[in-house]
Chain A
Amino acid sequence: MTPQARGFVFERIAGSRVVATPAALDAACWPPDALAWRLAPDEVFVTTAISREVVDDPHAIIEPDGGFVGVWVDAGRALDFLERSCQWELPDERPAWAQGAVAGLPVKLWIEPDRVWIVVPAPYARDLEERLS
């Protein structure tokens, strides 16, 4: 499902979800060319495939994941949207990672100086696309 109306093209994000002890996640060295988002103390989403050796936890759950979709939006437009739809304060530093309710949806943000990657679980892509427009 890749909604493409009104200029927003959501792309599935191929990555991995890793659930392990917080200590193991703290110590993990993620591939340098990938983004690693700490979704929770015990969960990381990495934008690439992850092998078991990366995480020092024999009981870690490491699953390939295509459940998120994202759209890159230029910073001006994105921040204008976020000002209207985000009831929490965005981080000031760049790049920055943030997550929370945006426009009533569970959104994750990767904020770069000139653009913002707006990411949402794929089942909410249509709703986000409508609310972005």
Chain B
Amino acid sequence: MSGDPAPRLVVDGRSVDFSDGDTVLVALLKNNLHPTGGGCLCLAGDCPHCLATVDGVAYVRTCQVTARAGMVVDSQPRRDHPPFPADQSPAQNAVARHLFCDVVVIGLSDSGRAAAASYGGRRVITLDAAAGQEVIGIYPGPLVVARTATGMLHVHPRDEIVVATGAAEIQPVAPGNNLRGLVTARAASRLHAAGIDLGRVVAVGVPPPGVDTEQIDGKVIRFDGDDGPDARVRAVVVRDGAGVEHRIACDTVSLGLGLQPRDALARMAGGMKVRAVGSAAGHGDVPPCPKSGAVCHCCDVTVRDLESAYERGFHELELVKRATLAGTGACQGTTCVPHLRSFLASRGGPLPAPFTARPVTRQLTFLEASAGAYHRATPRTALDDEHRRGGAVMDRLGGWWRPWTYGDALGEYWAVREAVSLGDVSTLGKLRVSGPDALELLERLYPTKVSTISPGRARYALLLDDRGYVLDDGMICRDTDTRFTLTFTSGGSSTAEMWVRDWAETWGLDVRILNQTMSVGAINVTGPRATELLARAGLEDPPKHLHHATATIASVPCHIFRLSFTGEVSYELHHSSAHSVTLWRRLLDFGRDLGCRPHGLETLLRLRLEKGHIVVGQDTDFDSTPRRINHEWAVKLEKPDFVGKQALLRTNKTALDRQLAGLAMDGPAPHEGALIWSGSAHVGYVTSSAFSPALGRSVMLGWLALSEGRLPDDVTIDGRPARRTPTPFYDPAGARLRV
């Protein structure tokens, strides 16, 4: 005989012992404890009367959990939710295992086993709560989700789902049904078998096998017991067929009131190929109409509440559910649905079908609910490590991790304006388009005249949707007569690619499209000494402004685009991202004595604002037309057609109501989003704002409302005067970028 002490649980701070194989509920009952204080126990996981918080997890059905030494069990508030766990630290990764098969059989009752055996030669997965695989929902797909001790199972059946989950015992509805000592007939047998002394047992309805009981007939009128919480039943009162009430003293009432199919999983699988078998497919017993007492213990709904809802016109089961919340609690209607149906049927209507079930049938932890889900990944350019090593403050911008600043934004700014600087623009969308219809495709897509772009040249272009609103912007670079390179904004490239592909397919044009956004890196070399730096790196014949060419720079093959977002001489070096780090480091080395340093996005946004360049999505809105953003110069309405043209022709006939405009003011830059006032009238808001070190004042872009066909010249922002100012603010003639 072992000298080891009995294993112990901690229940509400109190240590209690248990025997090997006991469930938590049995362990509690052996110690004269009850998880919820009372209510008819089923020991089958159907009712809400044994719920407790176990090891920090709330709503655990203690009848379904085997006790383990050291397990901590806490009672839950009877009329409130259990508290959130105090430990909110990130949990380990939630695990979901994906299994694929032809058929899933849920429940290994006899009918479930028979069903599983009938699918000879097909891949069948069986899931059974008793084996530790508790199915909690069926989703479209179909997808069957089960929880196990080691994580969630996501089972993907190809052909069919079989629900063989058996039947649940009907619970009593009568005054006193929240007392201790009430058990279903099956539960009475199980508790007896577990060695629990039930005392004097009175059996109502079907008797519990193997238990000595006093069998009584009649309808339960009420249960009498002690007063106060945790009160025990002392007697059951029944009314016989002659209408005579009998009060029978007892310690336990065994209630064999009938069965109802445990078919919630089948009921939530509307439209999917799901079949219930065995008692899960039965119609179930209908209990007598409840007269008084608690119907739904989960949501504290009484018969009186049902009557009140009915009197207010809620005569359908789904409406009664919504009006009273009966059926929406922890047991999801397993306890109350038979009584709700009986209640409504007794008022003259047909016996209603049980209400629609929805996942999940069991309470889940956040960890379980999130199993298999991943947060959206943010891609990193090939230079990500270089930026971080260089002390960059990284941020998620335009859908990518990007350097915001390297710690000295002003120094980065002046490097661009006065020397040379590198910027990582690998995040730009990059699309190659080739084919006999490539020109036709782009001509139809873009509002600019693509045919006038010669090979080797590049042009800024807007991309419009079919309502004439600005979808994105970027460059069209012509490589040959039938080959183009397109660039898009970082955040808009995915949409732009879909847009281009969709239209190419819609029009049936003969083109090839390759998205190189992820595989081609891009480094912007910008500043008055950019050409000098690139000459050191091997560029002998630099392309002119808005030209492009191929060349080897610092031993790396590059496609060089001469264009400028910063207002200074700029070269975008597109190259295989496999060589980004090499190219970046060599350029920094070549330019060290030129004052070359990298700049982050904070600086780039300031530089482009000085030039009045818009950022689509920041300066534009969902209904921004070229006219509204003052970009009519980028639209050639004389073209035969392009996406958005008809909408522009139509909307151009209406009066312009608002327009994006340049603004300037002394002092610090207002916040982006600041309201713009003209006198006492609110006329717009700021979309981009920065202090310009080169100009010594703040410059902005913002939306302004027109009044009597005119934009206001003088406005107030943050209580300070600002003046509408033509853009570009910096180097309006563009002399610097054409050097």
A49 within 8 A of B: no
Interface string of B565-580 (1 = CB under 8 A from A): 0000000000011110
B726 within 8 Å of A by Cβ? no
Kindly list chain A residues whose C-beta atoms are within 8 Å of the C-beta of B513.
Answer: 19, 42
Cβ–Cβ contact B98 & A65, under 8 A: no
Q: Are A1 and B576 in contact (CB under 8 A)?
A: no
Q: Is the CB of B385 within 8 A of A123?
A: no
CB-CB nearest in chain A for B437: A59
Given the interface pairs A61-B434, A63-B432, A126-B380, the reply to whether A83 lies near B97 with Cβ below 8 Å is yes
B375 at the interface (CB under 8 A from A): yes
Is A123 a contact partner of B400 (Cβ separation < 8 A)? yes
A86 in contact (CB, < 8 A): yes
Q: Which of B96, B374, B385, B400 contacts A131 (CB 8 A)?
A: B374
Selected contact of B578 from candidates A14, A43, A85, A125, CB within 8 Å: A14
List A residues 79-97 near B (Cβ within 8 Å).
83-87, 89
Contact B377–A66 (Cβ < 8 Å): no
Residue in contact with A1 in the complex, picked from B99, B372, B382, B435, CB distance below 8 Å: B382
A131–B373 alpha-carbon span in the complex (Å)? 11
- Nearest chain A CB to B110 CB, angstrom units: 31
* Set of chain A residues within 8 Å of B372, measured between Cβ atoms: 84-85, 87
Min Cβ gap B102→A in Å is: 11
Residues of A within 8 A of B579 (CB): 66
Looking at chain A's contact residues, the main secondary structure is mixed
Number of interface residues of B (CB under 8 A): 43
Contact A59 B520 (CB under 8 A): no
- Check A123 against B381 for contact (C-beta < 8 Å): yes
Contact A103 B374 (CB under 8 A): yes
Does A66 lie within 8 Å of B385, measured CB to CB? no
Q: Is A12 an interface residue (CB 8 A)?
A: yes
B129 at the interface (CB under 8 A from A): no
Partner of A121, one of B99, B518, B578, B581: B518
A67 partner, pick from B100, B434, B519, beta carbons under 8 A: B519
Determine whether B512 belongs to the interface, using a CB cutoff of 8 Å to chain A: yes
Q: In angstroms, how far is the closest chain A Cβ from the Cβ of B91?
A: 15
A2 to chain B, nearest CB (A): 9
Give the 4 A-B residue pairs with the shortest CB-CB distance, closest first: A67-B519, A66-B578, A104-B374, A123-B379
Known: A124-B379, A126-B380. 9 other contacts (CB 8 A): A1-B385, A19-B432, A59-B436, A67-B520, A67-B578, A89-B100, A122-B519, A123-B379, A123-B382
Instruction: Supply 24 A–B pairs (Cβ within 8 Å), ascending by A.
Output: A1-B380, A20-B512, A43-B514, A59-B483, A59-B510, A60-B434, A61-B514, A63-B514, A66-B578, A67-B519, A67-B578, A83-B99, A84-B98, A87-B98, A87-B372, A105-B374, A122-B518, A123-B382, A123-B400, A123-B518, A124-B377, A125-B380, A126-B384, A127-B377
* Chain B residues within 8 Å of A, Cβ to Cβ: 95-100, 154, 156, 372-382, 384-385, 400, 432, 434-436, 438, 482-483, 510-514, 516, 518-520, 576-579, 581
